[in-house]
Every structure is written in C-alpha cells, then in structure tokens.
Amino acid sequence: MDCIFCNIIKGHVPSHKVYEDDNSFAFLDIAPVSKGHVLVIPKKHYVNLEDIPEEELALLIKAVKNTGKILKEKINVKGYNVQENNDPVAGQIVPHIHFHIIPRSDDDGLKLWPQEGYDEGEAEEIIKQLKITN
C-alpha cells in the first residue's frame, strides 16, 4: 500500500506535526483553507468512517478535541470547523480517514454549504426508505 498518510506517520514524508499520541497523529494541511488548518489521522490505516472500529474512532475524536484545544490555546483560534469527507463523492482525496480542523475568525469570509428545505412529503418518503419509525 502506498498511502501518503501512512508514509507521513512512518516519517518517510515530511510533515509539520501539531499533535501525536499512541493512536493518532495531527499535522498541518499542505493546502490549508485557513492558517492552522490541521488534519488528524489514525496511525492505523482505515479508508473511511465505516472501516474504523468504534473504539479507535473514539480515540481519534479525542485527538481531534485535543488538537482543537491546542489551536485555541497556542495560536488564539476563536473557533473551528471539524469536517470528515467520507468517500470520493464527498470530497475525500486521500483514502485514509482523517478529520479536518479548520480555524475560523470573524472576518475569514468562509461560508458553510447552502441549506435548503424539503418539498411537501419528501422528508416522509426519505424516512420510509430508511425504514425509521417514530
């Protein structure tokens, strides 16, 4: 396997490490949305959210939390977005699960995705397809 993130963890590809623990590694994104944009990855290779065992996902989320705290304390980030792109259609470029921590400021100009409502009966049809009952 020739995963760029696995190679970063092994030290074969340089990175700017922000945080590390026994299970996770966080480093600056090479194409940041904003200054301080960090990627948090598990040290073991998993492609996406469905692949990673729940116990390891919990440890990864703990690393996301710790990294966010570091950004707030060390570089005075006021807030941040956490994003995980799951599969290529959702924008996942590297097939190794990772969370983006994107620092935000009052005047950064970043916009969240557009939101829209459901047409009449559309939500009920989706719920029916998902087989969720109240």
Positions annotated as catalytic residues are 98
For residue 63, what is the enclosing H or E element? helix 54-75
Q: Find, among 88, 68, 63, the residue nearest to 79 by Cα.
A: 68
**Residue 6 contacts residue 15 (beta carbons within 8 Å):** no
CA 69 to chain centre: 15
